[in-house]
Amino acid sequence: MLGIIGGTGLTQLANLKITRRQLIRTPYGEPSGPLTFGELGGKSVVFLARHGSGHTIPPHGVNYRANLWALHSEGVRDIVAVATVGGIHADLGPGTIALPDQIIDYTHGRKNTYYDDVDKPVIHIDFTEPYCPRLRGLCLQASRQSGEPLIDGGVYAAMQGPRLETAAEINKLERDGATMVGMTGMPEAVLARELEISYAAICPVVNHAAGRGSSAHGIRYEEIGAVLDQTMERVRNLIEQVVMNHAD
């Protein structure tokens, strides 16, 4: 079954025929909210809002382990996550949508593994390719079919938040090879890998990163809001096409 994790600006899926909502109890506490089960284009899908239905949970406060565990417990084996980012690379201006193929983790203090109990064996998972090539291909196919362009590839820098970055920090991230910056890409991706869930991320760019483009002298939230509304409509079109193409 396909799961969709919605980020900032995507707390529900349009045109989703909802069949039920269920709050899942997990060994890691409560997830961000109930799972929403439904059908889209005749295909089954499960949706979860990462920040809660009212967008009240900050990036560092998300219970990522509970979220992924809840989805896995209900039979989700593929996840397409939506995560808004700031664009570092010149090609990633506000309103573009990227499909990253690599990630660098700068977060700290987050529960980032299921293998941290003393009564469990130490497990080292391969994370060379953090995003599933098959799901990335499905997203690219949906891009062509829907006419919503995707930038194929990029390096997601996962920052702690909730504050935004300094211009100097963005310069460092660029030197490290990052092309976009966000706050929710990790540990979500690695927890999915530990549960053997295939995972890909669609990243709408809602602002230039600090010190870049229109953000050279600061980031204006009113501008982000306008871009977010417009870009999320395109993201919904992409997601709907991904769901319709997905093999249950």
The CATH number given to whatever domain includes residue 96 is 3.40.50.1580
- What gap in Å lies between CA 241 and CA 234, rounded to an integer? 11
- Residue numbers belonging to the annotated binding site: 8, 50-51, 183-184, 207-209
Annotated binding site for phosphate: 8, 50-51, 184
Q: Which residues does the annotation place in the binding site for substrate?
A: 183, 207-209
Query: Among 92-101, 114-123, 126-135, 171-180, which stretch is predicted with the lowest mean pLDDT?
Result: 114-123
Question: Mean pLDDT, to the nearest integer, of 85-113?
Answer: 96
This prediction has a pTM of 0.93
In the chain, the number of structural domains is: 1
Three-state secondary-structure class, residue 47: strand
pLDDT attached to residue 215:
64
| Percentage above 70 pLDDT, the chain | 93
More confident residue, 41 or 185: 185
Residue among 22, 3, 23 at smallest CA distance from 13 = 3
12 pLDDT tier (thresholds 50, 70, 90): low
List the domain range (segments joined by +) for residue 151: 2-245
| Least-confidence region, from 3-17, 87-101, 157-171 | 3-17
